[in-house]
Chains A and B, each alone.
Chain A
Amino acid sequence: MVITYNHMVVGLLEAGRADRVFHALADVTRRDIVVRTLEGEHSVSALARLYPMSFAAVQKHVAVLEEAGLVTKQRKGREQLVRGNVDTVRRASQLLDALEAVWRGRVDRMSEILTDPDGGTP
């Protein structure tokens, strides 16, 4: 049931775009940038000070996130300001819906194991 639902959701997405979002969120630094920039605008140089890596490396992470549509970048004087672009995703009720989907998937798989004649040994 969850699988069908997932396929349905994925079916609504342009495949290339889904790939970009998955890829963008697969990195710890990039996830951290998303969370921080959702809380408030950060300049690329302010972000660069937060991580043990070069300015260029952080700039590259921001570019990946921008390409995935997860952040927007705006030039202001000498600064490039980064802002998270997924405000709605922050809402707890929607996050709980996502958590529910995770657990429904797990429960489906548990039920399959319990009905397995091998009694759960693969």
Chain B
Amino acid sequence: MSGKRSFGRFLRENAVILLFLVITVLAIKPSGLSLVYIGQEMITRLGRDSFLVLALLLPIYAGMGLNFGMTLGAMAGQFGLILAINYNILGVNGLIFAALVSLPVSLLMGYVCGAVLNKAKGREMVTGYILAFFVNGIYQFVVLYMMGSVIPVRSRAIVLSRGYGIRNTLNLDSVRLSLDNLLAMHIGPFTFPIATFLVIAALCVFIVWFKKTKLGQDMRAVGYDMHVAEASGVPVDRTRIIAIIISTVLATIGQIIFMQNMGNMATYNAHDQTSFFAVAAILVGGASVKKATIPNVFIGVILLHVLFVVSPGAGQKLFGEAMIGEYFRQFIGYGVIALSLVLYAWRTRRETERLREGLRGGNMAAAAAAEGEAK
């Protein structure tokens, strides 16, 4: 293969990430922000978001696409946090308490989500997305009507004045930055939340290890070809449900980490964009619907968030309107997801078409080429 062709292929395969890199670099200057500021924001956001984005990996391995149903886990995490605030459990203990309380909820949510997605094979993503809306209704019901009336929540500070239901915004002062500040390290102008990074590293180790287990291998087999996996005795449905359950539980913990960094929580909206940001990040990092790696996660979080940090300033400078930057970053987020889904679907279709052509015997060379590319 000539150098020119492989360069073209490199461009095609990394179109999303390269496009993003260009836009981001171009936007840094007009934003007027210093590199130190951007660097610190990057470190903070790596700690805040990476765990959530890592939660997307297992369902991708299992061939279920991007798990938009991760929002279910995020809601479970918020449920736990509300209770932790209610009992006024301070610091890291509060976070652990929240995680433990939400664990059963999260397991149940994961099971439900997995079971529903098993009934919607081939359209997992759109179903997961709508499922998140659906469960959002139930979450609102529980938090707005059950808490304080059925579920014992007594803290006057968080319950609405009418006696039940949780206030719109929740002050998380009692757990705020507790994990980040547990082992904060100052190097030069930067502050590193070492404890948070350690938790994230532990998760990465877990994922690497998990891929090597029997279950992990089964998952990849299911992701590669469901029918072949079924025929060779892998319990497909069960494996898929396990992938979603793990992803949901990870999303729960991820949301708790996210929230302790933010320091306050919009009770009814905080989870709205969880899956949007996470999915956009992993795609920006170069992942596709079928293939994702741990580096994709970190590259994606950094790139996406640098753009998010600089875009309001850039919008103000270039168009004289900060709102344009705000709309622009949402446009970019949605656009990136659309673009990478399109590129992926397009590529798969072209490949299957070429393979099919080869099967017809009409064009053996094309089939050979397609096979070569598939490898």
Q: Do A and B come from one complex?
A: no
Chain A residues within CB distance 8 Å of chain B? none
- List B residues at the A interface (Cβ < 8 Å): none
